[in-house]
């Protein structure tokens, strides 16, 4: 009888450890997935370029970059790119602007999430500076221009899955952020 009780405690301990491991893995999965996407460009995740240097234009290699801007339903902003499409030299530093307008009578803080399509180009789309790196607060009726400085990495040309792509779409969607800033 004592041997059976000891065996039951052992099984219960293993089951509890397994449950604890699953809970820890559940909480760790989101940050681990985000790191994986940032490192590999998986799912169209762009890269954040360190420093302000682009590698330099590759002669004769031009690609269209299309811009898209959205807000989630219920967010009292309008948000759009100033230019819908730019022809850019691969490797050259570029700047595009988006315009945001707070159409409400209160301050609203938002955060932009972004994506690049086709997905295999995400690891070659490097942002040097972007409004999406931080939260943005707009006062009632405020209109702002938001820059993004970027380049398309010349390594794209050597990737057999991406080298024949002639257009990349950079899409942003703003979400409201509950913040003490929004109270005024």
Which helix H or strand E contains 11, and what residues bound it? Answer: helix 2-40
Q: Supply the pLDDT for residue 43.
A: 46
Q: Answer yes or no: is pLDDT of 75 > 70.
A: yes
pLDDT per residue over 129-171, tens digit each? Answer: 999 999 999 999 999 999 999 999 999 989 998 888 999 999 9
CATH topology classification for 43-183:
Ctag/Cox11 (Pfam 04442) (2.60.370)
Q: Which of 98, 93, 92, 106 is nearest to 71 (CA)?
A: 98
Q: Supply the pLDDT for residue 60.
A: 79
Helix, strand or coil for residue 140? Answer: coil
Burial of 58 (0-12, 13-18, 19+ CB in 10 A): middle
Task: List all residues 6 or more positions away from 19 whose beta carbon is below 8 Å from its beta carbon.
Answer: none
Q: Which of 108, 88, 90 is nearest to 100 (CA)?
A: 108
Helix, strand or coil for residue 68? Answer: strand
The Cβ of residue 109 has, within 10 Å, a number of other Cβ atoms equal to 17
| Range from 15-29, 96-110, 115-129, 130-144 carrying the lowest mean pLDDT | 15-29
Report the C-alpha gap between 89 and 68 in whole angstroms. 20
Q: Judge whether 167 and 131 are in contact, CB under 8 Å.
A: no
| pTM score of the predicted model | 0.69
Comparison of pLDDT for 138 and 20, the residue scoring more: 138
Q: Answer yes or no: is pLDDT of 62 > 70.
A: yes
Task: List all residues 6 or more positions away from 114 whose beta carbon is below 8 Å from its beta carbon.
Answer: 46, 130, 132, 170, 171, 172, 173
Sheet holding 167-176, edge to edge: 85-89, 62-71, 167-176, 108-117, 136-138
Q: Beta strand pairing status for 62-71 and 77-81?
A: unpaired
- The pLDDT-based confidence of 184 (bands split at 50, 70, 90) is very low
Q: Supply the pLDDT for residue 8.
A: 78
| DSSP bridge pairs for 79 | 100
Q: Supply the pLDDT for residue 146.
A: 96
| DSSP bridge pairs for 136 | 110
Domain spans, the chain: 2-40, 43-183
Q: Supply the pLDDT for residue 105.
A: 96
């Amino acid at each position: 009888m004592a041997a059976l009780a000891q065996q039951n405690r052992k099984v219960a301990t293993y089951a509890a450890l397994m449950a604890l491991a699953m809970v820890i893995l559940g909480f760790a999965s989101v940050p681990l997935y985000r790191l994986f996407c940032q490192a590999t460009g998986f799912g169209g995740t762009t890269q954040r370029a360190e420093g302000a240097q682009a590698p330099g234009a590759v002669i004769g290699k031009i690609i269209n970059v299309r811009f898209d801007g959205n807000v989630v339903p219920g967010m009292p902003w309008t948000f759009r790119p100033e230019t819908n499409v730019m022809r850019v030299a691969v490797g050259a530093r570029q700047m595009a602007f988006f315009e945001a307008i707070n159409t409400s009578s209160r301050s609203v803080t938002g955060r932009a999430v972004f994506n690049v399509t086709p997905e295999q180009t995400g690891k070659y789309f490097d942002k040097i500076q972007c409004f999406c790196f931080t939260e943005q607060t707009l006062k009632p009726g405020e209109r702002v221009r938001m820059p993004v400085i970027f380049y398309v990495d010349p390594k794209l040309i050597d990737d057999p899955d991406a080298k024949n792509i002639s257009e990349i779409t950079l899409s942003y969607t703003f979400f409201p952020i509950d913040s003490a800033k929004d109270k005024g």
